[in-house]
Amino acid sequence: MTQFVTSADGTRIAYDSEGTGPVVILIAGAFQFRAFDPTTVEMAAKLASQGLTVVNYDRRGRGESADARSYGLERDIEDIAALIDAHGGRAGLYGSSSGGAIALAAAAAGLPVTRLALWEVPLGDELGSGGAEFLGGLRERIAAGDGDATIEYFMKDMPPQWLEGAKQSPGWPIMTALAPSLEADSEALAWTQSEPRAQLWASVTQPTLVLLGEDTLPLMPPAAESILASLADARLVTIPAAMHEWAIDDLVPVLAEFFSD
């Protein structure tokens, strides 16, 4: 049954919570939310069966959290803070793709995060300008109110078959409707290029699991290496996966052991 928490700006954030044990909040990537992402819903249930309290929420602007008052990385961090507060004041974070950059930003902001698990965060070059330039272009398209152009722009550097497949799918209108929420994803990735990462993440001392698929996109291995080199307590785990999609039955035991420690 969907529950709600109210964020700092009054936006209601919808979530499911299941299981008992240490709290883990799942932070979605670019196009994920509960009704549109059955893989994460299944993963949440399996993790909950392993002795964890798993919180799977719709990021603002998506699903049952669609009625958002504003967007951006700071707002998303406030949403995570509200969820942590509603679940005892401490939580581990699992960030999927760009959600991993949001998780890092939340930990760096001083939220009471116990552990971090990061699935294939698509980082650009350290101190590069690409993230900020991309964010500027995305904001222009969001401000113009053109959902189709926003999603086309957001996906322009992804494998071209992903965009073509999305356009031809019944999910395309759903993706274009959540376009404003992509500002936080892009802002988080731009933030990771704003300072030397070891300096930017100096306060992120929590144990961190950097997750990488065996068959992944070319940018992911160097991104993972950058995270490993920049955090105080991080280790790499490679799991069976293909093209940015994880294998649930291989990932769940790794996450359950990590967050249960």
Domain ranges of the chain: 3-122+197-260
Query: What is the residue-averaged pLDDT of the chain?
Result: 97
What CATH code is assigned to 3-122+197-260? Answer: 3.40.50.1820
Listed in sequence order, the residues at least 6 apart from 67 whose beta carbon sits closer than 8 Å to its beta carbon are 11, 12
Q: How far apart are CA 213 and CA 237, in angstroms?
A: 9
Q: Looking up tokens 């044990």, which residue turns up?
A: 21
Helix (H, G, I), strand (E, B) or coil at 15: strand
- Run of H or E including 249: helix 248-260
Per-residue pLDDT of the chain (261 residues; tens, 9 = 90+): 899 999 999 999 999 999 999 999 999 999 999 999 999 999 999 999 999 999 999 999 999 999 999 999 999 999 999 999 999 999 999 999 999 999 999 999 999 999 999 999 999 999 999 999 999 999 999 999 999 999 999 999 999 999 999 999 999 999 999 999 999 999 999 999 999 999 999 999 999 999 999 999 999 999 999 999 999 999 999 998 877 888 899 999 999 999 997
Both tokens of 98, joined, read: 């760009």
Answering whether pTM is above 0.95, one says yes
Query: Residues 103-151: pLDDT tens digits?
Result: 999 999 999 999 999 999 999 999 999 999 999 999 999 999 999 999 9
Listed in sequence order, the residues at least 6 apart from 34 whose beta carbon sits closer than 8 Å to its beta carbon are 14, 16, 40, 41, 56, 57, 58, 63, 64
Q: How many CB atoms lie within 10 A of CB 43?
A: 22
